[in-house]
Amino acid sequence: MLNFLKQLKWFFTTHKKTYILLFLTVILLNIIDVVPPYIIGKSIDFITEGSMSKELLMKIVLIFSIIIVISYTLSFVYSFLIWQGAYKVETIVRHRLMRKFLLMSPSFFEKNKTGDLMAKVTNDLKSVSNGVGIGIFTLLDSSAYMITLLITMMVVVSWKLTILAILPLPILIFVEVFIGKKIHLAHEKAQKSFGDMNNSVLEGVEGVRLTRSFVQEKDEYARFYDMTENYLQKFMKVVKLDSLFNPLTTIVVSVTFILSFGFGAYFINRGDITLGEFITFNIYLNMMIWPMFATGITIDLMQRGNASYTRINRVFNTEDDVIFGTNSDHKTDIGFESYGFTYPSSNHVNLKNITIDLKSGDTLGIVGRTGSGKTTLIKQLLMYYPFGEGKLQIDGVPISDISRSDFREKIGYVSQDNILFSKTVRENILFGKQDATEEELQEAIKMSALDQDIENMPNGLDTLVGEKGIALSGGQKQRVSIARSFIKNPDILILDDALSAVDAMTESRIIENIKATRQGKTTIIITHRLSAVQHADQILVLDKGEIVERGTHHELSNSGGWYQKQHEYYLSGGDDDEEL
C-alpha cells in the first residue's frame, strides 16, 4: 500500500496543495458527520426526560440544517478533488506511455506483444487510476471516519462499551480481503471461459461456409454446448463465493449488536449511560461497518494499483536500443561493405557479408525466397535496429553518425504489411506529405493506379477506411500505401514486396509510372515477381542473408542460377516437376 503511494510520489508532490486541502476536508467532514447521531440521542433523552421544548427543537433543527449544508459542501469538494486526481493520473500516464511507444524501435514491439502493451494502457492504467481514486478516497475517508467514530464513541458514550462492542468488526476486513481474493481469481477464470465461448462462436460464424460444406453443424452445436456449460460452471463458482459476502457480514454485525445490547443493558443498569446515549452508540456502531469494509477494499485496490504501476514503469524504464547521430548534411549514396547483422532475438546470422554500392538516382532490385533477408536489409537502412558489423555508410558517413529523422525524411517506405490508419483515404495519402497541394494528391493517386477505385468508393477520397469505415481489398490497401509514398516524392523510394496483391496489369502500370517519374532518384524494389525489377540498374539475389547473385536482368537471366530458373518458371507458366 505504501509502495503504491511512493511510486506515485511525483504526482502527489506536484499536486501537494490539493492533497493537503483534501486531507483537511476529510478530517473536518468526519468530525461533522458524527454530530447528527449525537443530536438524535440527545433529542431522545430530552423527549423521554420531558425537557423538550419548541425553542429547543428550533435550535436542534437549525444546528442539524447547518451541519447538513456543511457536510454536503465538504463532501462535494472532497469527492471532486479525489476523482480529479484519479483522472489526471490516468491522462498523464497514458500520454507518457504513448510518447514512449512512439520513441521505441521495432525490437521493443517484437519483445512486447500488442496485446500486452494494450493491457498496460487499459487494464493496468485503470487499476492505477482506481488506486488513486477509490483507493485514496476510501483510505482517507475510512481511516478518518474510523478514528473520529472511535474517539466519539469512547468520549461521548463509554470507552468500555466501545471496545467490547467493536471486537468482532475486524473480522469483516478479513472476510473482505480473503473472499475478495478468491472471487477475483474465480472471476478471472470465468472471464477466460467466457472468452473461449466467445471465440468459439466467432469461429463458428467466420467459418460458416466451411462448417456447412463439411456438414459439421451438429458437432459445432455440441462443441458450443460444452462451452456454455463450462462457462456456467465457472460462473456459478463466482456466484457461490459472492453469495457468502452478505450472510457473513450479517452475522458479524449481529454479533456486534448482541454485544452492544448485552453490555449496554449492563451499563444502563449501572447508570453509566443514558438510553439516548445508547441509541447514539448504536447508530455509530452501524456507521462503523463501512470503514471496516473499506479497509479491505483499500488494501486490495492499492495492491493491484501497485502491481500495475510496476508493470507500467517497466515500459518507462526500457531504453531504446538504437543509437543515432546528428549529421544531416549528406547526399543519398548508399554503401554497404562486408555488412553483417543478427537480430537480437535470433539464433542465426540474418545478414552476412553484404556489399552494395548504390549511387544516388539508381534503381536497385532485390529478389530471393521468403526469409532470405530482403526486408532485414531494408530495415537496416531505415535505422529500425541496432547496427551490425561492417560498414554501412550514407555518402561516406557512417550511418550511426547520421540523424535518424533527417535521413528518414528523405525516404518513402512502402512496407510489406500494408498499414493504413482509420482515417479517410485522403488523410492516409496525405500522411506522406501533410502540406501537399490538391494537384500533388491527384498525381499520386494516378501514379498508383488508384483513380478508378476511389471513384467507386462511397465518398470518394473522403471515404473512411479501417475499423469504422469500409474494408479495402489487399490490392487497394497496397496502392494507398504506395500513393502515400509517392506524394512525398522522396529521394529514396523503397517498395518492400508492395505489389503482391495487385494484378499483373496494374502492376506493370505502376512500374511504368515509377520508371517515368523517378528519373535521377534512388528506388529500391523488393519483389517476388521478377517483372517488377527487370528495368533495375542492379539486381541482387539474396539467399540465407547473403548475396548469391548480382547483375542486370539481362546478365542474370543467362547466368544459370536461381534467377534464371525463376525466370524460366514464370515463362513456362509454372510446371509441377520444376525443381527449385
Partner 1 sequence: MKNFKRLYSYTIGERKTLIFGIFLSAIGVVLTLLGPLILKFIIDNYMQEGNVVAKGIITLILIYLGIQIVNSVVAYFSQIVIQTSSSRVIQKLRLKVFDHVQNLPVRYFDDLPAGKVVARITNDTEAILALFTSAVPVIIISGFTIFGIIVASFFVSFYAGLAMIVIVPIIMIWVYLYRKASTKHNNIKRERNSDINAMINESINGMQIIQAFNREETVLEDFSKINDEFYDSSMKIVKINALTNHNLIETLRSILLMILVVVFASIFLDTGTALTVGSMYLIIDYSTKFMDPLYNIVGMLDIIEQARVSTNKVYELLDKEVEDNQDGELNTFTGTIEFQDVNFSYDGKTNVLNDISFKVNPNETLALVGHTGSGKSSIINLLMRFYDPTSGRILFDDKNTLELNKQSMRKHMSIVLQDPFIYSGSLLYNIRMNNTEITEKEALDALIKVGGQNILDKLENGIHSELSERGATLSLGERQLISFARALAFNPTVLILDEATSNIDSETEQMIQNAMAVVSKDRTTFIIAHRLSTIQNADHIIVLEKGHIIEEGNHASLMQENNKYASMYLKQVTKEEIK
Size of the site for partner 1 (CB under 8 A): 156
Least distance between partner 1 and beta carbon 338 (Å): 26
112 secondary structure, DSSP code: S
Least distance between partner 1 and beta carbon 409 (Å): 6
Which of residues 258, 389, 451, 537 is near partner 1 by CB under 8 A? 258
Rounded CA separation 140/428 (Å): 49
Torsion of CA 388, 390, 392, 398, to 10 degrees: 100
167 secondary structure, DSSP code: T
Residue 185 contacts partner 1 per CB under 8 A: no
Residue 99 contacts partner 1 per CB under 8 A: yes
Closer to partner 1 by CB, 184 or 212: give it: 212
Closer to partner 1 by CB, 88 or 189: give it: 88
Residue 516, SS3 per DSSP: helix
CA 89 to chain centre: 15
Residue 491 contacts partner 1 per CB under 8 A: no
Residue 328 neighbours by CB under 8 Å, 6+ apart = 402, 403, 406, 407
Residue 262 contacts partner 1 per CB under 8 A: yes
Interface with partner 1 in residues 502-521 (CB under 8 A): 504, 508
Sheet with 522-526, strands from edge to edge, namely 411-414, 492-496, 522-526, 363-367, 538-543, 546-551
**Span from 4-12, 19-27, 171-179, 572-580 in contact with partner 1 (CB under 8 A):** 572-580
Residue 254 contacts partner 1 per CB under 8 A: yes
Residue 445 neighbours by CB under 8 Å, 6+ apart = 429, 451, 454, 461, 483
The number of C-alpha atoms within 13 Å of 127 and in the hemisphere containing its C-beta is 20
Which of residues 72, 329, 396, 456 is near partner 1 by CB under 8 A? 72
Interface with partner 1 in residues 270-289 (CB under 8 A): 271, 274-276, 278-279, 282-283, 286
Rounded CA separation 48/96 (Å): 64
Count of beta carbons in the 10 Å neighbourhood of residue 73? 12
Closer to partner 1 by CB, 6 or 212: give it: 212
Closer to partner 1 by CB, 80 or 159: give it: 80
Residue 79 contacts partner 1 per CB under 8 A: yes
Interface with partner 1 in residues 451-490 (CB under 8 A): 466-467, 474, 484, 488
Least distance between partner 1 and beta carbon 219 (Å): 3
Asked if 256 and 165 touch (Cβ cutoff 8 Å), the reply is: yes
Asked if 289 and 172 touch (Cβ cutoff 8 Å), the reply is: yes
Closer to partner 1 by CB, 205 or 516: give it: 205
Which of residues 13, 213, 452, 519 is near partner 1 by CB under 8 A? 213
**Span from 150-158, 300-308, 351-359, 418-426 in contact with partner 1 (CB under 8 A):** 418-426
Which of residues 13, 452, 456, 572 is near partner 1 by CB under 8 A? 572
Measuring CA to CA, which residue among 121, 134, 54 is closest to residue 86? 134
Least distance between partner 1 and beta carbon 221 (Å): 6
Interface with partner 1 in residues 138-157 (CB under 8 A): none
Residue 118 contacts partner 1 per CB under 8 A: yes
Residue 110 contacts partner 1 per CB under 8 A: no
Residue 179 contacts partner 1 per CB under 8 A: no
Rounded CA separation 178/171 (Å): 10
Interface with partner 1 in residues 331-390 (CB under 8 A): 369-370, 382, 384
CA angle, 368 then 369 then 375, to 5°: 70
